[in-house]
Amino acid sequence: MNLTYYGFEPFEVAASKITVMDVGTPKLYRDLILGLRDGADTISLSNEDFESVLLSKSIQWYGDPMLTVDLNGLFQRKLQAQLEKLVDDAQVVKISDDIRALMTEVLSASYMMDVPLELPEIPELKKLIKFSGIQLSPEVGNDAYGIIEALIKVVIELGDHRMIVLTNVSHYLSVNQLQSLVRLMATVDLPLLLIEFSDSHRVEYFQGCEYHYIDRDFVLW
């Protein structure tokens, strides 16, 4: 995938790598966000043959990992649907038997009541999974690296290979955590683009990344 901003050669955003657009000018920072988040015409995307592609089909904007990435809000229902696909017939039978036994136990306590009660039909698997409330551990949301790692694993599990776009990651990750993220990305077929704002060139911090710095004078380093 190639990202183009007027006045610069296209920037390649490759799978299995972290690409960083670190900028020192508010206008460029704003233009990148408006283009990647809102689909404004401030940027354009093209494939490896430099043919234009739709942003909506090629990228997924997530923004600041600590402020705008609610993993369960984004993915709980999708993960529950994925889990439903993975449960085999034998497991469905066992779940149904266990639910029936539980409901029978509850009904047995009702015999002390002088009212006609009966068991309803066992709910279908989809409703049982939804009722269970199964979700990503809330503890994941306490740490930016944990959020990003879980985000990557979830989108891979769901078969979504669109470019992930995050902002302000350098505000949260230590050097060691960033290197762990570099190693994680090397194992997945997924492009990750970081949009950062800085007054200085930070290639040392972003070692192992495809790093591009554009200063306040619109000079590319």
Please state the pTM of the whole predicted model: 0.87
Q: Which range marks the domain in which residue 29 is found? A: 2-72+152-214
Asked whether residue 157 falls in the same domain as residue 102, the answer is no
The string of pLDDT tens digits covering residues 96-115 is: 788 778 777 877 877 777 77
Q: Please report whether residue 142 resides in a domain.
A: no
Which of the 8 DSSP states describes residue 133? Answer: T
Per-residue burial over 101-120, b = 16 or more CB atoms within 10 Å of its CB, e = otherwise: eeeeeeeeeeeeeeeeeeee
Backbone region of residue 208 per phi and psi (left: phi > 0; alpha: psi in -120 to 50; beta: other values)? left
Strand ranges, E, within 16-86 = 18-23, 43-46, 59-63
pLDDT of residue 119: 66
82, 104, 132: which is the final residue of a domain? 132
Instruction: Please tell me which residue, 134 or 197, carries the higher pLDDT value.
Output: 197
The string of pLDDT tens digits covering residues 181-200 is: 999 999 999 999 999 999 99
Structure tokens at 160: 């979504």
What proportion of the chain, given as a percentage, has pLDDT over 90?
67
Domain count, the chain: 2
Average pLDDT of the residues in 194-217: 97
**Any idea which of 32-41, 103-112, 148-157 has the lowest mean pLDDT?**
103-112
d(CA 75, CA 133): 12
* Per-residue pLDDT at 138 exceeds 90: no
pLDDT of residue 38: 86
Instruction: Return the number of other C-beta atoms located less than 10 Å from residue 62's C-beta.
Output: 20
Q: Please report whether residue 174 resides in a domain.
A: yes
* Per-residue pLDDT at 43 exceeds 70: yes
Q: State the number of CA atoms in the 13 A half-sphere of 23 facing the CB.
A: 16
